[in-house]
Amino acid sequence: MKLSELATGASAVVRDFPKTGTAFLRLREMGLLNGTRVTLVRTAPLGDPIEIKVRGYHLTLRKSEAEHVVVELAV
Amino acid sequence: MALPAHISASPVAAPSRTLVYALVGNPNCGKSTLFNALTGLKQKVGNYPGVTVEKKVGTAYSQHGQPITVVDLPGAYSLAARSPDEAVTRDVLLGRRADTPQPDRILCIVDATNLERNLYLVHQILDLGRPVILVLNMMDVAAASGLTIRLARLEHELGIPVIACEAVNGKGIIDLKLAMSRADLPLSRHAWDIPAAIAPAVAELQASLTSSDGKAPLIARAEALLLLTDQDSVRVAGSRPLSARTAEILRSWQQRWARDGTDWAGTLVSSRYDVIGRISGDVLQAGTATGASISDRIDGVVTHPVWGWVTLGALMTALFMSIFTLAEYPMNFIDSQVAALGEWVKASMPDGDLRDLITDGAIGGVGGVVIFLPQILILFFFIGMLESTGYMARAAFIMDRLMGRVGLNGKSFIPLLSSFACAIPGIMATRTIEDHKDRLVTILIAPLMSCSARLPVYLLMIAALVPDDRVPTMTKVGIMLLMYALGTFGAFGFAWLFKRTLLKGEPPAMIMELPPYRRPNLIEVARHMLERAWLFLRRAGTVILGISIVLWFLSAYPKAPDGTPPSQQVAQSFAGQAGRAIEPLIRPLGFDWQIGIGLITSFAAREVFVSTMGVVFNASADDDDTEPLRKALLDAKWPDGRPLFTPLVCFTLMIFYVFAMQCVSTLAVVRRETNSWKWPLFQVGYLTGTAWLISLLVYQGGRALGF
């Protein structure tokens, strides 16, 4: 499934991540990598962007980026 | 274990010279607090030449009283720079900037509660082959959240001194100064295996960067690693393009990797995080703290679909209330002081042009700017508080969707909001926007937000528009709101237009950290506020002084014979002549040459329009009592006897002021922030052009409808 489809409060592990693009390079450097565990904290009141918890801190990104990140629901 | 080649050479600072430390760290890790704790009041704040990034240099003293220079570099998440701020950090660390010496040693500050991500930048910095001291800040917060950090292990793993610190209350500063004073600071022993797929490319690029680009071997290695992190090699190279040979080597490696499907940039980043993950797993002992943290609970309200907007609305109302009410007292005080100074000069100097130049030109002009200082201070105090607590990031988070509709992102919200008070601090606040084009668009549209200097003009025109008090107050308020709405819609319309044409770019990303809420540091906020206020006074003040003198000259010369009333003096002055000259241009808007004089003189600052009208129509005018001027305006006639200030003309004039770029101080700030005259000139052109066009439509349309 896509990171943009994750339900609020659900956790998942990143499985596939775009190789190119400035935004994705930055997301990588912010610690979002294949195998990283993320939790969807909340969605902004107007539906975009989303807030995720990754490596112990909170990060926002737009759904247009999140939909390129493939995740697998974590148990 | 043999030391890797890149760390075996130690650059030893000459003892005769003052040591230079660079202070680096992620945003939100307490870097400026530490900088202030280290250097106290011994700071110099300026700008890096060529870019609008703040340069802060301070002096700390070692335990033996030796001075140590500390350069506070802009906060960065990575050396693969993405914003002008990060590019400065990278360039100073790599010794690329001629105006800043390459630091001898590096002070890395990290947020102890967020070790993993913070260590990414540290890991890149260890590659630079300079002695590094690691400062773990916010140890108290980490302890409170149940986190235990084994400092000795971290020190052992990285091979550099690690100092625990609470910069806010000064804990750990003495230990840090002791470490900074050490003559024998070790180089990192941290050995890091570059992934096998990438390693030969690093070696080849390093060799080429050394031989063909003239880089020192250690720096060459760090640069090679950056070239293999960011796909955009032009961006990495910055102002010094790669040599043909290096570029060719890079290209051939990239082609090879593209063929066999190697995700080279990803590999490098993940191998760093692998190392960091191993280290932090070793060093961190997570506590048993469970449940929602205080930050989470605050966010539950502040980003709530209903309460979030209520909070934002309440904060904004409070901000504007204080700007318009609280600021009034100091503004009146400044006003009276400026007036008193003028009187004093008038009384103590002999009659003559020099006296008039000082009182009407210099004191009047500069006083007109200084009067906005209280509003600017309040605005920066508010912004500082919102930033310091962490609320600002939440405001951007909830506003992002709306801003996204016109192609901007949430970070443009606060600068635009500030521009309702004054475009100058608003434009200065755009520095937090990373994307160059987004920042430029925000700067270009900021003057459309109706600033407080337009208020006197609006008030006078509303007074002339609704000539008696039979009209309910709500009508006046309604007209006022209409002007504000018009400017705001104009701003968003132009943002939409610019993002699609002139400044087309990638849709902005909204990758932003939401830092935990913190108690605001009042001293820091006050400090920041004063720094900004000083910048405002110095920059805008000097320009305004010059322009005021020019404008005074234009309305005082050529001299009419003695005994001429002031209105006729103005009429036959250069300004009056200019007013007549532009009359054909503004006549279609319903304005005559006398209004033209006002348009010309208020080019310096919008509120000057009111005082100019006072002089032109020979009526005393000030902001508190527009009554005599209102009467004079209503008596004004065209030569053929038609009244000049018809309701339609008043309305058109207000609309003209909504759009027209009538503020020299803003232009001066835009010139400084964009580092060229191109953008401020463009701004004058497009805004004043739009003002003319819309005023024309309104006036001619109104005439056609019979008003």
Query: What DSSP designation does B359 have?
Result: I
Residues of A in contact with B391 (CB under 8 A): none
Strands of the A37-43 sheet, one edge to the other = A70-73, A11-16, A37-43, A50-54, A57-61, B512-514
Q: What is the CATH number of the domain that holds A14?
A: 2.30.30.90
- What angle, rounded to 10 degrees, do the helices at B373-389 and B328-348 form? 150
**Which are the contacts of B250, defined by CB distance < 8 A and separation ≥ 6?**
B205, B227, B233, B242
- Over pLDDT 90: what percentage of chain B? 27
A-B Cβ pairs (cutoff 8 Å, strict): 117
Question: How far is the C-alpha of B226 from the C-alpha of B205, rounded, in Å?
Answer: 11
A69 — contact with chain B (CB < 8 Å)? no
Which of B117, B119, B413 to mutate against chain A (most A CBs within 10 Å)? B117
**Amino acid (1-letter code) at residue B516:** P
> Helix B473-500 vs helix B436-445: angle between axes, to the nearest 10 degrees?
150
pLDDT in tens, B527-549: 888 877 887 777 656 766 777 78
Minimal CA–CA distance to B405: which of A30, A1, A9, A47? Answer: A47
Residue ranges, CATH 3.40.50.300, chain B: 5-181
The whole-chain average pLDDT of chain B stands at 84
How close A48 gets to chain B, by Cα (Å)? Answer: 6
Residue B105's identity, in one-letter code, is: R
CB B90 within 8 A of CB B78: no
Q: What is the pLDDT of residue B624?
A: 53
Helix crossing, B522-556 with B574-586: angle to 10°?
Answer: 100
Q: What is the pLDDT of residue B215?
A: 86
Residues B400, A62: C-beta atoms closer than 8 Å: yes
DSSP state of B111: E
User: What's the residue count for chain B?
Assistant: 707
pLDDT(B3) > 80: no
- Name chain B contacts of A51, Cβ cutoff 8 Å: 303, 397, 514
Position A3 scores a pLDDT of: 93
Q: Which of A29, A50, A62, A68 to mutate to test the interface with B (most CBs of B within 10 A)?
A: A29
Whether the upstream peptide bond of residue B628 has omega within 30° of 0, thus cis, is no
Q: Shortest CB distance from B398 goes to which of A30, A45, A62?
A: A45
* CA trace torsion B412, B397, B142, B159 (10° rounding): -60
Asked whether the beta carbons of A66 and A50 are under 8 A apart, the reply is: yes
Lowest model confidence (mean pLDDT) among B245-254, B589-598, B645-654, B666-675:
B666-675
- What is the per-residue pLDDT across B565-582, written as a single tens digit (0 to 9) for each? 777 777 788 888 888 999
- A9 close to B (CB below 8 A): no
Chain A residues whose beta carbon lies within 8 Å of the beta carbon of residue B305 = 45
Please write the tens of the pLDDT for every residue from B73-119. 988 999 988 877 888 899 999 988 888 888 999 999 999 988 999 99
Mutate to test the interface with B, among A51, A52, A60 (most CBs of B within 10 A): A60
* d(C-alpha B610, C-alpha B368), whole Å: 12
Q: Chain B contacts of A4, Cβ < 8 Å?
A: none
Which amino acid appears at position A57 of this protein? Answer: Y
CA–CA dist B481, B484 (Å, integer): 5
Which of B118, B19, B504 shows the shortest CA–CA distance to A31?
Answer: B118
Model confidence pLDDT, tens digit, residues B578-627:
889 999 999 999 999 889 988 988 887 887 788 778 777 766 545 555 67
Question: Where residue B13 falls among pLDDT bands split at 50, 70, 90?
Answer: very low
End-to-end CA distance of chain B: 91
Question: What torsion, rounded to 10 degrees, do the Cα atoms B415, B417, B421, B422 define?
Answer: 30
ipTM of the complex: 0.95
**CATH level 3 topology of B5-181:** Rossmann fold (3.40.50)
**Domain containing A62: what range?**
3-73
Q: What is the pLDDT of residue B137?
A: 93
* Chain segment B35-56, per-residue pLDDT in tens: 989 998 777 777 666 666 778 8
What is each CA distance from B589 to B350, B378, B460, B639, B670, in whole angstroms? 43, 37, 18, 17, 29
Is A26 close to B232, i.e. CB distance below 8 A?
no
Q: What is the pLDDT of residues B219-254, one digit of tens each?
A: 898 889 988 888 777 788 877 788 889 999 999 998
The verdict on A63 touching B (C-beta cutoff 8 Å) is no
CA distance B577 to B560: 13
Overall number of domains in chain A:
1
State how far the Cα of B318 lies from the Cα of B300, in Å rounded to an integer. Answer: 22
CA distance B365 to B356: 12
